[in-house]
Amino acid sequence: MSKIFIDPGHGGHDSGAVGKRSKEKDNVLKVGLNLKALLESYGHTVKLSRSTDVFIALSERAQMANRWGADYFVSLHNNSATSDASGFETFIYNGNVSSSTTKLQAAIHNAISKEIGIRDRGMKRESLAVLRESSMPAVLIEYAFISNTVDETILINQVEKLAQLTAKGIVAQAGIVKPTAPTPGATQKEEPKLYKPSASAILNSTATVLKRLEQKVDNPLDPQWREKLLKGELTESDAIGLLYVAIDRGHIVGKAE
């Protein structure tokens, strides 16, 4: 279990950057709240610098994490520049940092840059107060440009996805304590049901039929299906699909009346 400090930037009278349709302080708070739930579901302890719309000074954010004894510090921001600037970037302190700091940056950066769908502006280093004054590995994320129409849509509409990608990056470094815990916000995927014949005779007949289909001269069946069956890895929906393949190829013909 790791103690992870999540810092949604700005708040209160400090809106951060302001876009046409949203404010940085609101966008990053939503991601932060989602991220907290996700990391907790992975078995970590999470503290937020703020969970409401309040102002906290930069140094105080770092001190909160230091006092708590956080293992990791992750600060969430939206970028801003001219309307044509776009993309994703991350920062660590530009002074001496531990190898865990560069690893954490790489883990978070790679998880997000691959999936966010905008330009990767790179892993950067700068002397930002929260990074400089926090005593644990610290990364600051600039998800996208609130000043760019396309980027702002991501910041507004893809809050859960941004939280999931960030969580994925953090646990790539911090690990997962409860791998089976449900992921709040994530789509629950049902495990496919395996095709388990109740008697060995049925299993053998199924295997024999599949083997015959593999030996057909035209359109032979891929042997992987019989291998899956014998390994107990064939799903029920595959089994039904195979039946239709056999019918479609004319291998199963009903008796004429």
Of 7-15, 53-61, 175-183, 207-215, the segment contacting Zn ion by CB under 5 A is 7-15
- For 99-150, what is the HEC assignment? HHHHHHHHHHHHHHHCCCCCCEEEEEECCCHHHHHCCCCEEEEEEEECCCHH
Nearer to Zn ion, 140 or 171 (CB): 140
Nearer to Zn ion, 75 or 105 (CB): 75
Shortest distance, CB of residue 58 to Zn ion, whole angstroms? 10
- Tell whether residue 8 is a contact of Zn ion (CB under 5 A): no
Nearer to Zn ion, 145 or 225 (CB): 145
C-alpha separations of 125 from 68, 97, 100, 106, 165 in Å: 25, 10, 15, 12, 21
What's the CA angle centered on 177, arms 172 and 178, to 5 degrees? 115
| Footprint on residues 50-79 left by Zn ion (CB under 5 A) | 77
Dist CA 159 CA 177 (whole Å): 24
Long-range contacts of 99-107 (CB under 8 A, 24+ apart): 100/137, 100/173, 101/137, 101/138, 101/139, 103/137, 103/173, 104/72, 104/137, 104/138, 104/139, 104/170, 104/173, 105/139, 107/169, 107/170, 107/172, 107/173
Question: How many chain residues are in contact with Zn ion, going by CB under 5 A?
Answer: 3
Shortest distance, CB of residue 161 to Zn ion, whole angstroms? 20
Catalytic residue among 24, 89, 142, 152: 142
Of 5-13, 52-60, 109-117, 225-233, the segment contacting Zn ion by CB under 5 A is 5-13
- Tell whether residue 168 is a contact of Zn ion (CB under 5 A): no
Dist CA 25 CA 76 (whole Å): 9
Q: Identify whether the C-beta of residue 85 lies closer than 8 Å to the C-beta of residue 152.
A: no
- Tell whether residue 226 is a contact of Zn ion (CB under 5 A): no
Nearer to Zn ion, 34 or 206 (CB): 34
> Catalytic residue at 142?
yes
Shortest distance, CB of residue 24 to Zn ion, whole angstroms? 5
- Tell whether residue 16 is a contact of Zn ion (CB under 5 A): yes
Per-residue DSSP letter, 77: E
- Tell whether residue 9 is a contact of Zn ion (CB under 5 A): yes
Shortest distance, CB of residue 9 to Zn ion, whole angstroms? 4
- Tell whether residue 11 is a contact of Zn ion (CB under 5 A): no
Nearer to Zn ion, 16 or 87 (CB): 16
Shortest distance, CB of residue 10 to Zn ion, whole angstroms? 6
Active site residues: 142
Rule CB under 5 A: which residues touch Zn ion? 9, 16, 77
